[in-house]
Structure 1
Amino acid sequence: MIYKYYIYLLFGSILFSVSNRVNAQEVNAVVFNDSIRNGNVQVFDVRTAGEYNTGHLSNALQADYTKKEEFMERVKYLDKDKTVYIYCLSGGRSAKAASWMRGNGFKKVIELEGGINAWKQAGEPVEGTADVKQMEVDAFRADIGKGEVLVDVGAEWCPPCRKMAPVLEAYLSEHKTVRLLKVDGGRDQDVMQSIKVTSLPTFILYKDGREVWRKQGVYEQL
């Protein structure tokens, strides 16, 4: 009887695993590249920001799957009706993220087989590998020292940051005296630590070096 129980348990686990991946679709690096180059799609990198900055696919958005709060916040700004091409380092994290996305309303999620490791081995191109120097904290302090300065802590690969782009543009067009200073959320870690910013996007308005207001996340207006 106990033996039969374990057989049923094992069989159930196998069925669950198969059903959980029934809608999964993986393609190799060449097909993946052709698809994202020729289609109106979203490219989603679920590695860490540090990994992203060692090289990423063109126009890729980023959210760290291992940071659940960050992932859940950023994934909601993707279009569920538009195909998502997803990848990580070797395929493990992207498989889990894709499975969650399919179970939560995303119509089509395509995984990169073997992750960016396989992509590089196939000789496909990556961007963002240049060793760009961080913004220095002293330089940042000097830059916000005079007048009204709006600091935008964000990144091109951050979905909610992109969502805020037209809002930011509208704010600056209405406030001609305000100067914009961008802080890269994936690179300028020293500056972020000095102004206590831990999530993207964050907007801080300074007047003569003094912080007067701060907003974090997505808003209809600043």
Structure 2
Amino acid sequence: MIYKYYTYVALVGLLISVVSSVSGQQVDVPVFQQSIEKKDAQVFDVRTAGEFNTGHLHHALQADYTKKPEFLERVKYLDKQQTIYVYCLSGGRSAAAAKWMRENGFREVIELKGGINAWKQAGLPVEGAADQQQMSVDTFHNAIATGEVLVDVGAEWCPPCRKMEPVIQAYLKENRKVRLLKVDGGRDREVMQAINATSLPTFILYRDGREVWRKQGVYDKL
């Protein structure tokens, strides 16, 4: 009986330890807010692009967890050795995403308990609400009509797009006659459809309105 009792106590202790460890990966709004104020904090929004455009946390990257190809493509550009701060609308998708990341080599993943709903209920601000008018197709065609123009179809919240920023700047430095035109991958949907840009990032070089070359994805050099 004594052996069974101590075995039971040990099992209960182990269960409490496991539960504490798991719950310790979820933090309330004040702790999450303080943590993401650190320089270069990796903040990861796993909601849909539509939800993201209703408002998101400062400097957040985005990948829709419900779209597995998109999620798997974008998550690989996060630094596994640095802490990831993940959130969704209310906590369900972020919990699933965090579980996947922990199982796939990410050192530390911290979840926002209650998601962005809890953040808003705490009276904290969000940014990036889609109140800007999207670029018209006519405006786009006028912009590429003369000279050489590099069109960058991407977004600040897209991990591989952010990875490509130094590459773009290096290309423009080497090709000073080329102008840069950014097409917002979350807002300028009509332009994206017109030029058949279906993934982020996409790079297209135009010369006097005609497409010269096109590349999709991440490269060391354009």
What is the one-letter code of the residue matched to 1:119?
W
Match of 2:140 in 1: 140
What is the one-letter code of the residue matched to 1:53?
N
Matches of 1:48 and 1:63 in 2, distance apart? 7
Percent identical among aligned pairs is 73
Matches of 1:177 and 1:39 in 2, distance apart? 35
Structure 2: stretches of 5+ with no match in the other structure: 1-14
Structure 2 contact 32–112 (Cα < 8 Å) conserved: yes
Q: How many residues align?
A: 205
SS in 2 for 1:197: coil
Structure 2 contact 148–177 (Cα < 8 Å) conserved: yes
Which 4+ runs in 1 deviate beyond 3 A?
21-24
Q: CA offset at residue 23 of structure 1?
A: 7.6
Match of 1:80 in 2: 80
Matches of 1:92 and 1:24 in 2, distance apart? 16
Q: CA offset at residue 31 of structure 1?
A: 1.1
TM-score between the two structures when normalised by the length of structure 2: 0.88
SS in 2 for 1:153: strand
Structure 2 contact 130–187 (Cα < 8 Å) conserved: no
Matches within 5 A, 1:37-116: 37-38=37-38, 40-116=40-116
Q: CA offset at residue 38 of structure 1?
A: 3.5
Structure 1 contact 135–191 (Cα < 8 Å) conserved: yes
Matches of 2:190 and 2:176 in 1, distance apart? 29
Structure 1: stretches of 5+ with no match in the other structure: 1-14
Matches within 5 A, 1:97-176: 97-129=97-129, 131-176=131-176
Question: Is residue 179 from structure 1 mapped to residue 179 from structure 2 by the alignment?
Answer: yes
Q: CA offset at residue 36 of structure 1?
A: 0.8
What is the one-letter code of the residue matched to 2:87?
Y
Structure 1 contact 29–124 (Cα < 8 Å) conserved: no
Q: CA offset at residue 144 of structure 1?
A: 0.6
Deviations 1:88-144 (A, max 9, x none): 011111111000000000000000111101110011121112510000001101111
Deviations 1:154-186 (A, max 9, x none): 011111011101100000000011110000001
Match of 1:209 in 2: 209
Q: C-alpha root-mean-square deviation of aligned residues, in Å?
A: 1.6
Matches of 1:119 and 1:82 in 2, distance apart? 23
TM-score between the two structures when normalised by the length of structure 1: 0.88
Deviations 1:36-76 (A, max 9, x none): 11465210000111111110000100111111111111100
Q: CA offset at residue 22 of structure 1?
A: 4.0
Match of 1:4 in 2: none
